[in-house]
Homo-oligomer: A and B are copies of this chain.
Amino acid sequence: MTKFWNTSLSRVSKNKVLIRGYRVEDLMDRCSFGDMIYLSFTGELPAGNEGRILESIVVSSTEHSVMAPSINATRFVASGGVPLQASVAAGLIALGDHHGGAVENCARLLQSAVAAKRGASAIVAHYRESGTRIPGFGHPWHDRDPRTLKLAAQAEAWGLAGPHLELAREIAAELGRVLNIDGAIAGIVSDIGIGWEYGKAFFLISRTVGLAAHHVEETTRERPFRAIAPEDVAYDGPEERDLPAPKPPSPTGG
């Protein structure tokens, strides 16, 4: 029977909260947050170390100083005088295709390529031809990003590395660019069976912690209304000018 709302995610009734069928109090007793992410996105609890690597993923990306656009967005918004959830939301919106959101695009690429048995050379050739950039490779600062290295090592040690992470590494080699944190997360979550549609979620979950801390730091340490100094702005539009002489009333204009 179909109603306005249909969901398979949870069921709530008086004094009972079931998530994917499990009682929430049982989950609170026995599951890590990584397990919960796995359960929420796949419908089942991990059979192996999947929850552990998800826990490590969300530990890895809470914070990356104020250099990233998401954090700037939250801090500027916080300085306008808004509640914490509003400025955190503003920061999260920034996690688009060029910022963390690359996990989604990279996971989609890896999942479709592995399914179609398409290899790194063909993929790189295709992108080179189209002149677009493959998401998940290259980093402005880090050439040996400690997060990426650790995640890859954990995936190996915990028996989770599979064809998606391998393909990601082959693409990196082919491109001569490092696999970045987005690409590493994309490979790993694909290997543990999570659909690419969830690709942006890991960064969102993790970064919420850091953005909340930046909101509090901004609102407790700084003055309201963070403003850019005029000397940091270059203006290259028209010089000051007068309005044109008024138009005569248009004959067609009624």
Chain A positions near chain B (C-beta within 8 angstroms) = 1-34, 36-37, 40-41, 43, 45, 48-49, 52, 55-56, 58-60, 62-70, 72-73, 75-77, 79-101, 104, 140-147, 149-151, 154, 157-159, 195, 197-201, 204-205, 208-210, 212-214, 216-217, 219-222, 224-244, 246-247, 250, 252-254
Contacts of A19 in B (CB 8 A): 62-63
Q: Which of B5, B37, B94, B210 is within 8 Å of A209, CB to CB?
A: B37
Q: Which of B14, B28, B86, B226 is within 8 Å of A83, CB to CB?
A: B86
> Nearest chain-B residue to A241 (Cβ)?
B21
A69 & B76 in contact (Cβ 8 Å cutoff): yes
Contacts of A199 in B (CB 8 A): 84
A7 & B69 in contact (Cβ 8 Å cutoff): no
B73 & A15 in contact (Cβ 8 Å cutoff): no
Q: Which of B5, B24, B30, B226 is within 8 Å of A246, CB to CB?
A: B30
A213 & B26 in contact (Cβ 8 Å cutoff): no
24 pairs of residues in contact across A and B, judged by CB atoms under 8 Å? A1-B234, A5-B232, A6-B234, A7-B233, A9-B217, A9-B237, A10-B63, A15-B146, A28-B151, A31-B243, A36-B62, A40-B63, A65-B233, A67-B230, A69-B77, A70-B80, A79-B94, A80-B94, A82-B83, A83-B96, A85-B200, A87-B93, A89-B92, A157-B252
A9 & B213 in contact (Cβ 8 Å cutoff): yes
A72 & B237 in contact (Cβ 8 Å cutoff): no
Known: A150-B25, A200-B85, A234-B2. A65 touches B209 (CB 8 A): no
Q: Which of B45, B60, B69 is within 8 Å of A244, CB to CB?
A: B45
Q: How far is the CA of A217 from the CA of B233 in the complex (A)?
A: 14
- Smallest CB–CB gap between A42 and chain B, Å? 10
Contacts of A24 in B (CB 8 A): 59-60, 146-147, 150
> Nearest chain-B residue to A223 (Cβ)?
B98
Contacts of A253 in B (CB 8 A): 49, 52, 157-158
- Smallest CB–CB gap between A247 and chain B, Å? 8
Q: Which of B13, B16, B21, B77 is within 8 Å of A73, CB to CB?
A: B77
